[in-house]
Amino acid sequence: MPARSKIDQLPPEIRDKFQKELLAKNFCGYEEIADWLNAQLADEGLEIRISRSGVHRFGQEFQAKCEDVKTSTEMARAFVGASGDDEGNLNEATIRLIQTMVFDLLLKAKKDEDGKYDVADILPKIGVMVAKLSKASVDVKKYATEIKKKTEQAVVNIESKAKKRMDPELFKIVKEEIYGIA
């Protein structure tokens, strides 16, 4: 099994600053970033030092992850823009994506020297996350159903009160434009 990355061993607050520095420098100037990181480590009294190539390796992986997130965000925006996401379709798509990722993760899981799978520690967290996403999806659908019922009832109420005073063509336009009901 390969040695654990020194960057993975950094204290979380230094790692966060390091990632922000990579973003601020637009993933350029790895030697300068390595110098900055090592100065941070020295200031904290830590003896660990990170090479330029280690910073570069991590930077490339981190940049790829950032680009994946950006692409996913753009796709989600496009999806919501195209579908309106009235029915919680984005949540459903997210759950399906996570299920696919978990399945792929399980297929690629390997046993470590203790015979334990390398993903065993995160499986309970994944289960909780999927359960919360599923509940959120159900809640969104319930809310959408409630809003639809209230909207339909509002149209019936308005129709009974205003139909006598409002031109039928104008009332049809109101129903279509405001309530989205033909």
Domain limit, last residue, from 14, 48, 83: 83
Q: Across the chain, what does the average pLDDT equal?
A: 81
Whether 110 and 58 map to the same domain: the answer is no
Domain limit, last residue, from 60, 83, 106: 83
CA dist., res. 12 & res. 83, Å (int): 39
What does DSSP assign to residue 98?
H
Mean pLDDT of all residues in 83-105: 69
Judge whether residue 87 has pLDDT over 60.
no
Domain limit, last residue, from 83, 105, 136: 83
Structure pTM? Answer: 0.51
Whether 69 and 123 map to the same domain: the answer is no
Whether 89 and 143 map to the same domain: the answer is yes
- 43 versus 155: which is more confidently predicted? 43
Q: Which of 41, 11, 37 has the alpha carbon at shortest distance from 24?
A: 37
How many structural domains compose the chain? 2
Query: Residue 180: what pLDDT?
Result: 65
The tokens describing 4, both together, are: 């654990």
Residue-number span of the structural domain to which 48 is assigned: 1-83
